[in-house]
Every structure is written in structure tokens, then in C-alpha cells.
Chain A
Amino acid sequence: MTNYEIVSREDFSDVTYLLEIRHPMMARAAKPGQFVMVMLNEQGERIPLTIADFDGEKGTITLVIQAVGKTTRQMQQECRVGTSLYALVGPMGVPSPISHARKVLCVGGGLGVAPIFPQARGYKEAGAYVIGVVGFRNKDLVFWDEKFRDCCDELIICTDDGSLGIKGLVTAGILQAIEKHPDIEEVVAIGPPIMMKGCADSTRPFKIKTMVSLNPVMVDGTGMCGGCRVRIGDQVKFACVDGPDFDGHQVDFDDLMMRLRRYTKTERKALDHWEKGCNLDKTIASSVEALIPGQALTTV
């Protein structure tokens, strides 16, 4: 059985972290826009994560994760260099069609900053003039700006509080870029649904083709459950096998956001259950520490 070993880890902030995982075959097969399904342990759930980078020579893939729910928080706590994931499947989904557009705008916001990177690099390799727009809440949360500068001809950083780059949302960055470059042929946007909706709305008046990468609730990621169905124009598509990239001007974002709230209550319950377990562990640890000093770390 393949062992999905974590070979490096980097913490960008108290919620965002990077995991580099060994999987030589996947590293060779992966293309921009694809995702993986991850299971942390045997009792875990399958969560879809977009591939943020892949290195065929090193044989690794990179995931950038935000600790928002039970599984991602548990991963933040347990995934150390040298440990392994229980399951890692992929690459899944239809790769992004890297076209021969001459001028492209790649937009990443929040958890979408990392996954937009392979797209930007892909367009650069295809010979396009690439303008990157990345958005963060503040200066301290900024990561990978050097990596983006390497593959973008221009980079616009947006922060909510204006502590770095321009003050405002990524849509402000988009408008600034379009103003300067009226010949932008394509926009690719990845991020939270509300941000992608904003991007699609801001490019609509200019009639620039805008692709977005959707992230609905999934179980299997192979087209089998239909949980990830999304409305694209008047059609229903499965994001896992028909996407995850779709024409942003056609996507019904309200439907997507409504469906993302489907398991909010149970997810909350899972998180509470887990946190309770953690506190219990801490209690045990401190009592062990009290009895046998120096033992607590190895016990828990």
C-alpha cells in the first residue's frame, strides 16, 4: 500500500498551513485545476482539496489548507512531517483548459490563493502575459508572493485593511487591472463562493470570459453521489467529474452557497465532539504531568 507521507509543512498563519505530501505518481499526473480527496484517518471524512502545487521531479504534491472545520483543524494539529495520511486520491476533476489567450488575469482570494498558482504558472508556460491578483485580510497573512512574482508579469496584492498593496477586495484589483489592460482575454478566479461571485459580476460588463473553480460538498469525488451538483445556466452538473471549473457567468452562486450550508449543524457537532475530546486529552495530560513530570508529551 502506498504511504502518503508528509515531507514538509509550513505554517502561514494560525489558520493557514501547507502540507507537501509524497505521491510520485500523482505528482506526474496532476494538472492545474485538479483536486484530491483526503482522509486523515480511518474514522475521518473525505474532504476535497484543490492541488496548490505539484513537483514531478521531487514526486510530491502540495496542499494549502485553512483550518475551518473539524477535519482541517485536526489535520493542523496532527499532520507533522513524517506522519502519513490514511488516504489520498486524485488527481480528480477535469484539468483547467489552459488556453492560448495572450493576456490572462489570475485571481485568488483567501483559500483560493494557493490553487490559483498552478493556473498562473500554466498560463505563463503557455506564453501568456499573466497578471496576478491575490487578496488577503491583512499583511501578516500574505504568503507565496515571491512564488507569484516569479510566474506573473504583474502582481496586484489586495488587503482588506490596506496594510499591503491596494486596500479593498480582489474585485478592486480586477477593476484596476482591466482599466490598465483593456485587452485581457481571460479571467480565472478561485476563492470562497462569495468572492468568485463578485469576480464574475465585475467582469460581466466587460464580457471577459471568466472561469471559476467550484467547491461544493462532496463524498466520493468520482461522480457517484451527486452531492456536488451545481446549476450552470439551465443545466445541472456534477462539480467532481464535469468540473470543478465552470464559466463563472453561468454559475448559480446562490444555489451553490445555499447547498454549502447543508451540513452546517452536523459539522458543528463534529467539531464540538472533537474539541471536547481534545480538552479531555489535555486534562489527562496535565494530570499525568502532575504525577510524573515530563511524561505528558509522550503520553498524548
Chain B
Amino acid sequence: MREQDPIERSRNFEEVACGYHPDDAMRESERCLMCPDQPCVSGCPVGIDIPGFIRKIGEKDLRGAYDIITETSLLPAVCGRVCPQENQCEGVCTVGESLEPVAIGRLERFVGDAAIREGWVNIPYIEANRFKVGIVGSGPAGMACAADMAKAGCEVTVFEAFHQPGGVLRYGIPDFRLPNAVIDAEIGNLRKLGVKFECNTLVGRLFTIEQMISGMGYDAVFVGVGAGYPTMLGIPGDSLNGVLSANELLTRCNLMRAKEFPNFDTPQPIGRRVAVVGAGNTAMDAMRVCLRLGAEKVYCIYRRSRKEAPARAEEVHHAEQEGVEYHWLTNPVAVIDDGQGNVRGMRCVRMELGEPDESGRRRPVQVAGSEFDFETDLIVYAIGTNANPIMGQTSKLELNKWGYIQTDNSLATSMAGVFAGGDIVTGAATVIEAMGAGRKAAASMKAYLGIRDSALPYANGGEKLFGIDLRERNFARVRVA
């Protein structure tokens, strides 16, 4: 796949990966073995029929490929770009055992982009029922849940606190990785399904979840508000000017378009030498944004080694190409000030890897006497997020000890009719995992509302009563003629 030249692209906000030429896509599709056990499908959090859509690409039937993907996934153009394929479908690809795995993500994006270009949208026949469903948060979890509920015939309204829908896709992921046009297209598809978006609405404060269920007439509510309460390191100098969270940096740049200052009013912190702490996807985004904003040097400070870095392999590689300097096995211990409340530098220590911890990753231990200082004028923390407290403050939803919403296996919360999924349940994860949770919650919601779910398998001999699958739990509305 063609990519923009690293030096050139590190100064603009155009997309890095230019996408497949049709011939390349055809060639890549032929590499798929169509193996019978389909490990890639079970590797996909939403279970896309991957060999199915690849076969269609090979047959030059892009519309057919799009139809297959959209049976299970809502946003091929988004997921093809932002999924960590190497840990999912591509990580278990049979071809990958001896060669490079089939580039499933790139093929998916190829199909998704074609759909946006051609204006394809799959709107099934929808028979309206009398149910009203409210979705809190317009990020990937909310979008996925909204799509499924709208397809089931419910009247769906999505509430968003910001002035534009899309959640993390809008404020978090920068344009060069996920262009706004792609998000707009996907939101447009949801609108075509009949989903309504209400922006500038802070659920919990403007009205509560309880009010939605009792007074406002929502039959079911899905809470997918994300985690987003950034963690600070808690080291001396944390509150100096020039220390900020990756969320703040990215929101200013992406959602508020501070990169176009002064044509847009929001100020953007710009550093000459920037240190980003962390090595996840958010850290990579933050570093690459800083380069594009004109930083001379961008350092990545991470206390483990490259192997443990949680970011997509492609992002680590792209950032390196663009000139990011990695400092693996380095841990910050203090931020140094200039005497006027601004950042002047950072004090770090070297680490080495010890015994594996509970997450299976080797625990970093400090090397004695390895302290050193370096110069920096902007420090960005990309070390994860905690649960946002608004839902807990304003509703009686049961939370776990970390403040995330407590759910059962079907993603039902402690309140009848209220379901939750995505980062606010699991803690920070990926876009596709949030979408998977949104779809799972939608399935539970349908069961709760007594809507027949055609997605449930009928054929394979499940327990049946009057010809209705027991798992459907659809007994409320059986009518005898």
C-alpha cells in the first residue's frame, strides 16, 4: 500500500496510508487460502466473514464484499484503519505462519472506502416497533448499538455531550489516521437508518438515566460514555504549565481544530522538544500530532521495552519513520520547572525487565543510580484513563471498585432496562472491542424488550418451545390467532 513520504507527511495532516490501488487489492486477496477452519473469523471481535468478503474482492464484486462485511460490522472504513489487526484477525491468519499474513485490515478499508466513494449503504427493510431506545455517548460502542437497535425497528436517539458526534473517533484519533470525512460518512449511514443524534447533551446532568427510563419514555438505555478521565503520573511538577494529558492535546487539535489557530479560536500548546509518556496508540497519535504542529524533537518515554508497547505495530513503525525518538525502559520521576511555573525538563531513570507480573508482561525495575535529566518544554501524558465519574455521581448504577459500571455477562447493569458497554465497563480498550460490546448489548436489549432477533441461529437445534428458540426469551408477545 502506498504511503506518504515520512518526512513530508510529518508536516501535514493528510492521511498517511493512501489505500490500495484496485490491482493491489486483487493481488492481496489472492493470497488468502480460504482455509476451512477460518481462524481469522474467530480472531475478529465482531466475527466478520473475512474469507467471504475477500473472495468477493477476488471476484471484483466490491458491492458484494461490502454487503458481507456490513452483515456484522458497521464501520469497515473505520475499523480497517484503526483495529489492531496483528492481535486479531491477521495475528491468527494461516498464511502468517510462514509468510506475511493476508492484509485483512487494508482490504477491509479498501472495501469501506469504495462504499463511501460510491455512496453504498445497506438499509434493510425495517418494520417499526413501539420501542424507544436511548444511547448515551456517540462513540464506537454507541454507534454499533444504535445501528442494531435501529435495524430491529426501534426509535433510536443518541446523546452526545460534544457539539459533534463520533466520540473518540472525532476528538481522539487524528485526521492523518482517520479522516473526518470517513466519520461523517459513517454517521450519515446511521442517520439513514433513522437514528437521531442529539449533540450538546450531557446525560446525567441535563437529565439522568433514571429520568430517561421513568419520565422520558425510553424502554431501554445503553450507556457507552467511554472511560476518559485521564491519569496523571503523580510525580513532582505534574501541574506545571506545559504538562498535559494526551486527551487534552488531541481534543484541542482534532475536535476544536486548534491546529488551524487563529482561524479557530482554541489555543494549541506547541512544544519545541516534546516528551510523550506512554507507548499506546494514544501516545503514538500525540507524538505524531506534535511533529505536525512543528516540534523539532519528539521523544517517546516508556518504562517497558518495544515488545511490550501496547500500540499497533504499524503506528510504532510510522511514528519512528516520521522521526520520533524512542526511549524504551525509561521512567519519568520528576518534571523540572524554569522557576516561572513552566516546564524546562524531565528527570528519568533507566529500567530493566524483571519477573512477569499479573498481566504476563515482565515488570520493569529501576536501575540503581541511573537518574538523568533532559531538556523538554512540553510533556504529554498518555498513560491511560480512569472511569469518568459523571454516571456514578448522577445515577444509582452499580459501579465496581475502580468506578467502572458493573454489568453481568449480557452487559445488563444493576438497573432494569439499562445496559452498558465499551470503555466505561472494561476500562480503556480498542474501537472494535467497543463496537463488539455495543452489538452484544444490543442483542441483550432485544431479548429484554422481547424483539425477535434474527441474528440468533435457529437451525442448529437449540431448545425450542412452540417453534421459538428458547435463547430468544421471546414469550411476552406470542399471539394466538
Contact = CB atoms under 8 A, between A and B. Distances in A.
Interface of A: 1-2, 25-26, 29, 34, 39, 43-46, 70-71, 86-94, 219-220, 222-227, 229, 231, 236, 238, 241-242, 255, 258-259, 261-263, 266-267, 269-270, 273-274
B85 interface: no
B199 interface: yes
Interface centre among B234, B244, B262 (most CB of A within 10 A): B262
A241 B389 contact: yes
Contacts of A87: 163, 199-200
Given A87-B163, A89-B161, A270 B389 contact: no
Interface of B: 161-163, 171, 198-202, 205-207, 228-230, 232, 234, 238-239, 241, 244-245, 247-248, 251-252, 256-257, 261-269, 341, 388-390, 393
Contacts of B269: 262-263
Nearest to B267: A266
B241 A262 contact: yes
Nearest to A260: B241
A203 B95 CA distance: 73
A226 B244 contact: yes
B200 A219 contact: no
Contact of B241 (A71, A220, A242, A261): A261
A226 B230 contact: yes
11 contacts: A34-B205, A87-B199, A94-B393, A219-B252, A220-B161, A220-B162, A224-B247, A226-B248, A236-B234, A241-B393, A270-B261
A195 B263 CA distance: 34
B290 to A, nearest CB: 16
Given A225-B248, A227-B248, A92 B205 contact: yes
A28 B232 CA distance: 35
A194 to B, nearest CB: 16
B91 to A, nearest CB: 31
B265 A227 contact: no
Contacts of A229: 232, 239
Given A71-B265, A226-B245, A258-B241, A46 B256 contact: yes
Contacts, number: 129
Given A231-B239, A236-B239, A223 B228 contact: yes
B263 to A, nearest CB: 6
B202 A224 contact: no
Interface of B is mostly: loop
A266 B256 CA distance: 15
- The 7 A-B residue pairs with the shortest CB-CB distance in the complex, in nearest-first order: A266-B267, A225-B248, A45-B265, A273-B262, A258-B341, A226-B245, A87-B163
Contacts of B262: 269-270, 273-274
Interface centre among B200, B207, B234, B241 (most CB of A within 10 A): B200
A266 B241 contact: no
Contacts of B256: 45-46, 219
B159 to A, nearest CB: 11
Contact of A89 (B202, B241, B268): B202
A87 B201 CA distance: 10
Interface of A is mostly: mixed
A74 B341 CA distance: 30
A242 to B, nearest CB: 7
B245 A92 contact: no
Contacts of B199: 1, 87
A45 B262 CA distance: 11
B265 A226 contact: no
B265 A43 contact: yes
Nearest to A277: B262
Contacts of A25: 206-207
Contacts of B267: 45, 263, 266-267, 270
A266 B232 contact: no
Given A225-B247, A258-B241, A259-B241, A91 B388 contact: no
Contacts of B171: 220, 224
Contact of B163 (A86, A236, A242): A86
Given A236-B239, A259-B241, A241 B229 contact: yes
B395 to A, nearest CB: 14
Interface centre among B251, B264, B265 (most CB of A within 10 A): B265
Contact of B230 (A2, A26, A224, A273): A224
A83 to B, nearest CB: 17
B228 to A, nearest CB: 4
A270 B265 contact: yes
A25 B388 CA distance: 23
B389 A242 contact: yes
A223 B388 contact: yes
Contacts of B161: 89, 220, 222
Contacts of A44: 264-265
Interface centre among B238, B264, B267, B388 (most CB of A within 10 A): B267
Nearest to B262: A273
Interface centre among A1, A225, A263 (most CB of B within 10 A): A225
Nearest to B172: A224
A267 B258 CA distance: 12
Contact of A29 (B205, B229, B264, B388): B205
A26 B268 CA distance: 30
B212 to A, nearest CB: 12
A22 to B, nearest CB: 14
Contact of B261 (A223, A261, A266): A266
Contacts of A226: 229-230, 232, 244-245, 247-248
Contacts of B389: 223, 241-242
